[in-house]
Chain A
Amino acid sequence: MQKFNSLKSIPAYLLIVNIDTDMIIPKQFLKTIKRTGLGKNLFFEMRYDDNGKEIEDFILNTEPYRNSKILIAGKNFGCGSSREHAPWALLDFGITCVISSSYADIFYSNCFKNGILPIILEEKKIKELLEYSKRKEEISIDLEGEKIIYGNNELKFNIDPFKKKCLLEGLDDIALSLEKSKKITSFEKYLKDKKPWIFND
């Protein structure tokens, strides 16, 4: 996984609430067996018209937001399906940080597995940030220091320390869990003994 360092970008914003994973990446693009190449179809239905032409006033179709690496979004972002294609599409487009007041559970955890930082901020602070963003100026994300820097201001955010560490170091979850292999083996022994039906023995 790509390490998450500090990030600087002009943030794009999509202030719709309950943006679901079907909106982020519609199902016709789930027929892939790869993780890459989904960026061009990110927010497909809002981004293109029936003839596949870009819809002019959709924010990610306008300058400078085509190159945004940060997305500010309405609450309950990423609700709906468990598809990891949603973070893959964001990542492939170039977005590595989302800012919202809340996220759906599975989407939130999927972000971390892909080096995307989902920041949770109170609505009030999001409004502040948004006002600033309309100036089309860069903001910075400092994950180490858990703050967003815009102009001469700072906004603090909180993040689970373990998740932060994984992002900063680009750690592979599976390797970490495999270090506990012995514990897993002894758990399996206990299961075989106490609940033999689990293994259908």
Chain B
Amino acid sequence: MPFTLYDKIWNEHLVHKQDDGTALLFVDRHLIHEVTSPQAFEGLRNSSRKVRQPKLTLAVVDHNVPTTDRSKGIDDEDSRIQIETLDKNCKEFGIQLFGVKDKRQGIVHIVGPEQGFTQPGTVIVCGDSHTATHGAFGSLAFGIGTSEVEHVLATQTLVQKKAKNFRINVNGKLAVGVTSKDVVLQIIGQIGTAGGTGYVIEYAGSLIIDLSVEQRMTICNMTIEGGARAGLIAPDEKIFNYLKDRPMSPKNDNWNKAVNYWSTLKTDSDAEFDKEISLTAEDIVPMVTWGTSPQDVVSIEGKVPNPENETDIDRKNSIERSLKYMGLEPNVAVKNIKIDTVFIGSCTNGRIEDLREAAQILKDKKKAPHVRAMVVPGSGLVKEQAEQEGLDKIFINSGFEWREPGCSMCLAMNADKLKPQERCASTSNRNFEGRQGRGGRTHLVSPGMAAAAAIAGNLDDVRKYQN
């Protein structure tokens, strides 16, 4: 029987099939962070349970950490308690942690791949919805809730129901200035935020194969915005080369064994998908979101929609609500939308290639005077690499703040927030109401588009700024 990549990984992890159609799935890799783990550890303690496989779990602090100098400790008491709690829990249960002062600290979905903890063919979970990112390596990676975090800690398994198979093919080549962020925004615009519900998406096609490993991560990362359980891409030479010699990658003989196995991880040519769509890369242009859901996308040449043109009543109401929140009038050209803030970072676009892409546009240019702009590298190692390449200088010369790594203004749990009504061009993944600070207004864009917006002071077409 022909299988999809998802079917194969699923079958390889079946510990037990239960009568009700669910299965107990083995978890090879578990990532945890300070926000969604404290109650899980508390649960373990309350029932006197241990962590079954401490070595298969890796902990980092990211959501809550300040991105300013933290050598003198953390002022915010609640954040500090959460961070200290993780430290204490990891010590008590024997889990490796990259703490605030560790150079390897960063956003959990950037650290996993960077360390080689993320590997093809594995089941990877984390108490965070953007775990889908790791699917770029051909792993089945998905977000879980805190009760499930506790379940994984205690049993190294998870009770799951199998999802359906959905394939998205993207063929062709992207035009200059168009990136994988635009591809995934286009996809979400097309399928909607619930379009993937109940599915695992496999991305395929010549464009996907052409993309770099980091660009693939951006696409898989935002799969969750389309409602899918996970997104994945068959691993290839690029993935193997990326992983070679990473600190936690397989070593010596194990490396060869692993690569042999990884090379078999492909969907069979005659496998059937429950749903399939195809896009042409040449049709994709730089995208921005205008509303408060990631599906509210429009091309940079487009206009804010008019609710009066909507026949679906739910849709009409939701457009009206979004426009009100976003402070936008119908039919305005998005290029004319003035912005106050630019945020470059997050697990979607906080990797070295993203910073290079933005720096390339910003080189020898200044941000508009009214704009506040910041770059938050995805990890300490990304930061270090960028500094070696002199990218920090480019950003600083353009008027950007150069910060310490963390989630930062992607979700505004630390001090990095928008003020009410402030408008931000952001490389993150969610434009929900209040996501970047109460009343804050988010436009999701690629790193290049964020750089262009910083220079222009309004949303603008990155293709005008190619150096």
Show the binding face of A for B, using Cβ within 8 Å.
16-18, 20, 22-23, 26-28, 30-35, 45, 50, 74-76, 79-84, 87, 102, 104-106, 109-110, 113-114, 160-162, 173-174, 177-178, 180-181, 183-184, 187-188, 191, 195-201
Contact = CB atoms under 8 A, between A and B. Distances in A.
Contact of A23 (B22, B52, B433): B433
B55 A102 contact: no
Contact of A27 (B53, B412, B420): B412
A127 to B, nearest CB: 11
Contacts of A50: 420, 438
Interface stretch (B141-149, B205-213, B347-355, B459-467): B141-149
Given A22-B435, A74-B314, A200-B254, 14 more contacts: A17-B314, A22-B430, A31-B82, A32-B38, A79-B193, A81-B411, A84-B39, A106-B145, A109-B145, A162-B22, A177-B159, A178-B154, A183-B15, A198-B119
A91 to B, nearest CB: 12
B194 A75 contact: yes
Given A106-B145, A177-B24, A177-B157, A82 B36 contact: yes
A55 to B, nearest CB: 14
B143 A33 contact: no
Q: Number of contact residues on B: which range applies?
A: 35 or more
Contacts of A109: 145, 148
Given A81-B129, A84-B145, A177-B157, A30 B81 contact: no
B154 A191 contact: no
Contacts of A22: 430, 432-435
B16 interface: yes
B250 A200 contact: yes
Nearest to B322: A18
A184 B227 contact: no
Given A174-B154, A184-B155, A102 B197 contact: yes
A78 B380 CA distance: 33
A173 B159 contact: yes
Contacts of A160: 20-21
A187 B78 contact: no
13 contacts: A17-B318, A23-B432, A26-B434, A27-B411, A35-B39, A74-B314, A75-B314, A76-B227, A79-B194, A161-B20, A174-B151, A184-B26, A196-B257
Contacts of B413: 27-28, 30-31
